[in-house]
Amino acid sequence: MDLTGIDVGTYVNAAQKAVQENIDLPPGYSLMWSGQYEYMVRAQQRLMIVVPMTLLVIFLLLYLNFKNMTASLLVMISVPFSLTGGFWLMYLLGYNMSVAVGVGFIALAGVAAETGVVMLIYLDISYRKFRQTFGDRFNRRHLYAAIEEGSALRVRPKIMTVVTIMAGLAPIMWSQGAGSQVMKRIAAPMIGGMVSATLLTLIVVPVLYGLWKGWRLPDEKNSA
């Protein structure tokens, strides 16, 4: 059969539910869903291997860049939170998990890790500047000022990045015609995920950075 206006995974899920509710198979009979759905299932099984390998490669690249396990883990911890926007948009649009959605999430994970790295670099630059300026008098108040300065410098580039990506992907969400159903499911996780990734990068990452760098620092009164 030819499907119009719906992807294979969503159609087969609905068809399986309808068959289960309305048809009682006699003993000795079974159903098998084949065609494009069979290839999709095989591709999903490959994604179960590709996705963990992708995350492992991202972590190794982060470690080679920072030469620090804590900094690498800080960025990696931020990646799952940045994906939540993609899941919410999929839920609102009624999309099911598919190969195309998996590809979209893989691309989103790479972008989220990249933005986290850039934010961490800005924070490190500001932290080292304040540390060098105040020396032994450096305390949590100085750390928070450094984090505020580093985060503020990242606001405009981050907003520009998000707007550019969403503007480039938005036409895909309104496209029609052959292949549009697949492309929409690649674009949806990235559009939704960029919103949550923005909030995460500008709010959560600086907070985690402050907890990491500030847990041994004295407060202003103790350093006076």
**Grouped pLDDT means (10 residues each) for the chain, 224 residues:** 69 83 84 78 78 84 85 82 84 80 84 84 90 86 90 84 84 77 84 84 85 78 51
Q: What pLDDT score was predicted for residue 126? A: 92
Burial of 53 by CB count in 10 Å (0-12 exposed, 13-18 middle, 19+ buried)? exposed
Q: Provide the residue ranges of all domains of the chain, joining segments of one domain with +.
A: 48-223
What are phi and psi for residue 153, nearest 5 degrees?
Answer: -65, -20
Cβ–Cβ under 8 Å, residues 8 and 36: yes
Look at the domain 48-223 and name its fold: Multidrug efflux transporter AcrB transmembrane fold (1.20.1640)
Give me the DSSP letters along 170-196: HHHHT--STTHHHHHHHHHHHHHHHHH
Cβ–Cβ under 8 Å, residues 30 and 121: no
Q: What pLDDT score was predicted for residue 175? A: 78
Structure tokens that stand for 147 in this block: 């984090």
Closest to 137 (Cα-Cα) out of 216, 220, 213: 220
> Could you report the per-residue pLDDT of 60-96, keeping only the tens digit for each?
888 888 888 888 888 887 777 778 888 888 888 888 7
- Where does residue 135 fall: left (phi above 0), alpha (psi -120 to 50 degrees), or beta otherwise? left
Task: Give the number of other Cβ atoms within 10 Å of residue 54's Cβ.
Answer: 16
Q: What pLDDT score was predicted for residue 224? A: 47
The pTM for the full model equals 0.71
